[in-house]
A and B are shown apart, each in its own frame.
Chain A
């Protein structure tokens, strides 16, 4: 079983504290019809369920929160480097840029 390196763990700490709140802020600003597509794309392995796929996505988020999807869109490497899914980058505030200061 692969053991998470100290570097990986610290990167996740950084991403959770620094990127995740902005992602939530960014993604929740999008109407649900578009948000569904964004979350589905980031998830990468989403299978539509039931008659109303958006409702099933809502249920999924209700149960697991956005962090679950956020994690699926991120790759953290052993040395601590990472890659964000482009749609996470785009949704880190206005046009992917921090905008809640003024």
Chain B
């Protein structure tokens, strides 16, 4: 890690940053210009299309108008485009232009493609509506403003000072000045900050640690100032319609944009994921693996692309005891889909302390600096913002690099095989099949992602070594046995409470009626407890609560 970054590097990034503009486009700007008639542009998803024939005499014969709604998830704007005569409505399109327009909008609605639109507001009947002049597909991944020359020059300067771009990114003098974190965590976050172009590029990370470890601080102070990242709320504040999109209450032919499609090619952090219901995780699984969600609501059948990185942050279950339990019990927070979610997470860190006991001084120092607003008052903020602006464009640039893995496959395979052969790996991941292809894909993706972070278009052993180190650290946090069997059965906190109550109040019951009078339990919950061995059901209809089940489950036997 560089102690002092040479001035030449900082001066170079400053010269680059001065050429960059804030090019974030949403529908907000259009929405705010509702009153004016200025030409405006923005970006969003088409959520509704209605094509109508124009019958007014002055419109001309056989002319059409397309009414549609463009939404970015926060702002929805009603728009029109037409091919009527200009006497009837200004800015007409030709038949061909309008046909293309319709194709693009349909693509946006059905396949979740983002569109850039340009137009101006006008009065149409009693409505204030955006008359569109142009529309084009926006692939969602913002083009990097970093030029090839800037990129090559940056790499050349780094080489001159014997530094790698990744080393600079991990430095406390660039983007990690406001928070203390271990290097492995910094690397994981930098991987998360890349822009996944396709589903194979997605990197999902789980971070389970004790409360007060600064997880939210990490998002607010490091990730969000650097790259677009939205926080999904906890529990009931984050609903399935809110995340995935749902039929609009105003119009059942409209499917609103959820948070996940909206952040396509970007990233979403989930705070306090342990408060999410199993249902939400269930819906999320497909998205995490396939980078898209498919919805059939009302008359609509739509696919929305969700190639994005997810960061799950949360606390271990309340009954977790570091001395008594295996670390993987922390992952109980994923509920009945624990196994499936673990399989889809590229990296998982289950540690009560993310920074280590020795870091108390550094952490306290960071806390005091944040309270005193040292960064904003000392001028450091400007320096940090310049580094962030530079690396934002760098990350976008390198996310499009495509270093080929093929030539390196023998070494990747040997490295992965060695890790996979370890008993810890087998215990953690390979419960259902001898070979875990998803983990292999995730490992190979890590190698490629590190090559991109280094800004290299060819894989070398440094990338493989980085990927292996991080993969192993992640694996190490899942040590020893853990109760996967119970997790697969769907044992959650509520069931544990039911079991404890039954153990005290009704260890043996003659009938299901007696058992249900002791505790409120659904048939489904009862089935899970029987399947997981908590309750034994006898042929004569008696139920026996098995002592030691909880110890067995939490101990991971």
Chain A positions near chain B (C-beta within 8 angstroms)? 7, 10-11, 13-14, 17-18, 77, 79-84, 89, 94-99, 101-102
Query: Given A82-B414, A89-B421, does the pair A102, B182 have CB atoms closer than 8 Å?
Result: yes
- Asked whether B464 is an interface residue with its Cβ less than 8 Å from the other chain, the reply is yes
Bound-state Cα–Cα, A84 to B184, Å: 25
Q: How far is the CB of A90 from chain B (nearest CB, A)?
A: 9
Which of A81, A94, A96, A99 contacts B413 (CB under 8 A)? A81
Chain B positions near chain A (C-beta within 8 angstroms)? 182-184, 351, 353, 356, 408, 410-411, 413-414, 418, 421-422, 424, 460-461, 464-465, 468-469, 472-473, 475-476, 479
A101 touches B473 (CB 8 A): yes
Q: Which residues of A contact B356 (CB under 8 A)?
A: 102
A14 touches B465 (CB 8 A): yes
B424 touches A97 (CB 8 A): yes
Q: How far is the CB of B412 from chain A (nearest CB, A)?
A: 9
Closest A residue to B468 using CB positions: A18
Nearest first, the 7 closest Cβ-Cβ pairs linking A and B are: A81-B410, A14-B461, A18-B465, A98-B472, A79-B410, A80-B410, A97-B476
A83 touches B410 (CB 8 A): no
B411 touches A80 (CB 8 A): yes
Bound-state Cα–Cα, A82 to B409, Å: 11
Bound-state Cα–Cα, A10 to B461, Å: 8
Taking each of B182, B356, B410, B468, which has the highest tally of chain A beta carbons within 10 Å of its own beta carbon? Answer: B410
Bound-state Cα–Cα, A95 to B184, Å: 19
B476 touches A11 (CB 8 A): no
Closest B residue to A75 using CB positions: B414
Additional pairs, 16, CB under 8 Å, beyond known A18-B464, A89-B421: A7-B410, A10-B460, A11-B461, A77-B410, A80-B410, A81-B411, A81-B413, A83-B414, A95-B422, A96-B424, A97-B479, A98-B469, A98-B472, A101-B182, A102-B351, A102-B353
Q: How far is the CB of B272 from chain A (nearest CB, A)?
A: 24
Q: How far is the CB of B446 from chain A (nearest CB, A)?
A: 14
Query: Given A13-B461, A89-B421, does the pair A99, B468 have CB atoms closer than 8 Å?
Result: no
Q: How far is the CB of B75 from chain A (nearest CB, A)?
A: 44
Q: How far is the CB of A101 from chain B (nearest CB, A)?
A: 5
Q: How far is the CB of A97 from chain B (nearest CB, A)?
A: 5
